[in-house]
């Protein structure tokens, strides 16, 4: 699954990818990229955001190489994506000796640090509940509860990854990312409360 977000910037266009860059999604991304290139009289600066991409297959790597050949820049986080982009740009440097990968780090100012601390506190509170629910589910060997806990843990990991990615994100995107993280935390807390009511309370009773 892949989600694309296109943003018109003052100095070009940013194409953010979220999910998997592989298989049937590669032609779709290429189509959007080429439509951006062909839709401008002069070649725009195109930035490809890969920080939220969790997998890139061989076709995806080849597409990134074509993008790099055409002058695209990349914003990445995570060892896997960074290695892929470094490999792609190694090909470009070998051919031309000029272009470099664009990796941006955001300074952790007071506002960002406070936000990170607030989210960390909520994650700690969620961890306490998750641990309690997990122990109870194990003791009952309850498959449904275990599956629900796994879903909650996946959501928690996504939030932690998003908070980490703030440090490598362009400053113009941080406000939106923080809003998305806040929304994800609300969903996580609701999922935990739904779990409590569904699996840990006697039938017919609600707190």
For the chain, give the mean pLDDT.
79
42-56, 101-115, 155-169, range with the lowest pLDDT: 101-115
In this structure, the chain runs to a length of 207
Instruction: Judge whether residue 147 has pLDDT over 90.
Output: no
∠ CA 140-192-200, rounded to 5°? 35
Residue 139 pLDDT more than 80?
A: no
**CA separation (Å) from 94 to 20, 69, 82, 126, 162?**
28, 11, 18, 48, 33
203 sits in which H/E element: none
Tell me what pLDDT residue 109 has: 66
Give the residue-averaged pLDDT of 35-49.
Answer: 80
Model-wide pTM > 0.85? no
d(CA 206, CA 161): 33
Residue 102: the pLDDT is 47
Rounded to whole angstroms, the Cα distance separating 142 from 184 reads: 26
Mean pLDDT check: name the lowest of 23-27, 101-105, 108-112, 153-157: 101-105
**What is the Cα–Cα distance from 187 to 103, expressed in whole angstroms?**
31
Helix ranges restricted to H, 105-170: 110-140, 143-165
* 146 — pLDDT class (breaks 50, 70, 90): confident
Rounded Cα gap, residues 134 and 69, in angstroms: 49
């Amino acid at each position: 699954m892949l989600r694309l977000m296109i943003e018109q910037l003052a100095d070009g266009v940013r194409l953010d990818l979220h999910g998997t860059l592989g298989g049937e999604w590669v032609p779709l991304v290429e189509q959007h990229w080429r439509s951006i290139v062909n839709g401008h009289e002069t070649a725009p600066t195109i930035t490809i955001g890969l920080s939220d991409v969790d997998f890139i297959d061989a076709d995806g790597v080849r597409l990134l190489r074509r993008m790099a050949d055409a002058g695209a820049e990349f914003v990445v986080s995570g060892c896997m994506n960074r290695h892929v982009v470094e490999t792609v740009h190694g090909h470009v440097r070998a051919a031309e000796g000029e272009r470099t990968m664009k990796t941006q780090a955001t300074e952790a100012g007071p506002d960002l640090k406070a936000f990170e601390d607030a989210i960390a506190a909520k994650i700690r509170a969620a961890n306490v509940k998750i641990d309690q629910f997990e122990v109870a589910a194990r003791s009952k060997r309850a498959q449904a509860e275990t599956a629900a806990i796994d879903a909650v843990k996946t959501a928690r990991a996504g939030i932690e990854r998003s908070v980490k990615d703030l440090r490598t994100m362009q400053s113009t995107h941080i406000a939106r990312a923080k809003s998305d993280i806040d929304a994800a935390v609300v969903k996580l807390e609701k999922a935990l409360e739904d779990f409590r009511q569904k699996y840990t309370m006697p039938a017919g009773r609600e707190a």
